[in-house]
Structure 1
Amino acid sequence: MKIKQYKVSKKISLANTDTFEEIADAKNKLKNIRRKISELQDIMYAHGKYGMLICLQGMDTSGKDSLVREVFKDVNARGVVVHSFKSPTSAELKHDFLWRHYIALPERGKIGIFNRTHYENVLVTRVHPRYILGEKIPSVTSVDDLNDAFYHKRMERIVNFEEHIVESGIIVLKFFLHLSKEEQKNRLFRRLNRKEKNWKFSIDDLKERKLWSAYQECYEDAINRTSKKFAPWYVVPADDKASARLIVAETILQTLNNHKDIKAPSLDSETLARLDEYKAQLAKD
Structure 2
Amino acid sequence: MKKINCASLKVTETIQLKNIPTFINVETSEKKKEKELQKIREKLSKLQDKMYAHNKYGVLICLQGMDTAGKDSLIREVFKEFNARGVVVHSFKTPNSSELEHDYLWRHYLALPEKGKFAVFNRTHYENVLITRVHPEYILNERIPEINAVSDITPEFWENRFESITNFEKHIATNGIIVLKFYLHLSEEEQRQRLLRRLEEEKHNWKFSPADLKERERWDEYQQCYEEAINKTSTENAPWYVIPADNKETCRYLVAKTILEELQKYTDIKEPELDEEIKENIKFYHDKLSTEV
Residues 22-56 of structure 1: CA deviation (Å, up to 9, x unaligned): 32222110000011001001000000000000000
The 8 Å contact of residues 9 and 227 in structure 1, kept in 2 or not, is answered as yes
Moved segments of 4+, more than 6 Å:
none
Identity of aligned residues (%): 58
CA drift at 1:139: 1.9
Unaligned runs of 5+ in 2: none
CA drift at 1:133: 0.1
Give the alignment partner of residue 71 of structure 1, picking from 65, 70, 78: 78
Give the alignment partner of residue 260 of structure 1, picking from 251, 267, 281: 267
Asked if residue 43 in structure 1 is aligned to residue 50 in structure 2, the reply is yes
**Aligned-pair RMSD on alpha carbons?**
0.6
Query: Equivalents in 2 of 1:26, 1:58: separation in Å?
Result: 22
CA drift at 1:228: 0.1
Query: Equivalents in 1 of 2:21, 2:205: separation in Å?
Result: 29
CA drift at 1:149: 1.7
CA drift at 1:207: 0.5
Query: Equivalents in 2 of 1:132, 1:94: separation in Å?
Result: 13
Q: Is the partner of 2:97 in helix, strand or coil?
A: coil
Query: Equivalents in 2 of 1:88, 1:73: separation in Å?
Result: 28
Q: 1:3 corresponds to which residue?
A: 6
CA drift at 1:275: 0.5
CA drift at 1:152: 1.5
Q: Is the partner of 1:164 in helix, strand or coil?
A: helix
Q: 1:29 corresponds to which residue?
A: 36
Give the alignment partner of residue 171 of structure 1, picking from 163, 178, 182: 178
Query: Equivalents in 1 of 2:33, 2:239: separation in Å?
Result: 24
Q: Is the partner of 1:234 in helix, strand or coil?
A: strand
Query: Equivalents in 2 of 1:15, 1:137: separation in Å?
Result: 34
CA drift at 1:147: 2.5
Q: 1:155 corresponds to which residue?
A: 162
Q: 1:283 corresponds to which residue?
A: 290
Query: Equivalents in 1 of 2:75, 2:217: separation in Å?
Result: 27
CA drift at 1:145: 1.5
Q: Is the partner of 2:182 in helix, strand or coil?
A: strand
Q: Counterparts in 2 of 1:209-248, with a 5 A limit? A: 209-248=216-255
Higher mean C-alpha deviation, range 257-266 or range 138-147 = 138-147
AA aligned to 1:2 is N
AA aligned to 1:277 is F
Query: Equivalents in 1 of 2:80, 2:252: separation in Å?
Result: 12
The 8 Å contact of residues 85 and 117 in structure 1, kept in 2 or not, is answered as yes
Asked if residue 102 in structure 1 is aligned to residue 109 in structure 2, the reply is yes
TM-score between both structures, scaled by the size of structure 1 = 0.99
Query: Equivalents in 1 of 2:187, 2:197: separation in Å?
Result: 16
Residues 244-269 of structure 1: CA deviation (Å, up to 9, x unaligned): 00110011101111000000001011
Query: Equivalents in 1 of 2:242, 2:252: separation in Å?
Result: 12
Asked if residue 130 in structure 1 is aligned to residue 137 in structure 2, the reply is yes
Q: Is the partner of 2:59 in helix, strand or coil?
A: strand
Q: 1:181 corresponds to which residue?
A: 188
Q: 1:274 corresponds to which residue?
A: 281
Unaligned runs of 5+ in 1: none
The 8 Å contact of residues 22 and 240 in structure 1, kept in 2 or not, is answered as no
TM-score between both structures, scaled by the size of structure 2 = 0.96
Query: Equivalents in 2 of 1:175, 1:166: separation in Å?
Result: 16
Query: Equivalents in 1 of 2:155, 2:269: separation in Å?
Result: 41
Query: Equivalents in 2 of 1:246, 1:44: separation in Å?
Result: 22
Query: Equivalents in 2 of 1:49, 1:146: separation in Å?
Result: 40
Q: 1:13 corresponds to which residue?
A: 16
Query: Equivalents in 2 of 1:22, 1:121: separation in Å?
Result: 33
Q: How many residues align?
A: 285
Query: Equivalents in 2 of 1:235, 1:128: separation in Å?
Result: 24
AA aligned to 1:8 is V
Residues 174-210 of structure 1: CA deviation (Å, up to 9, x unaligned): 0000000000000000000000000000001100000
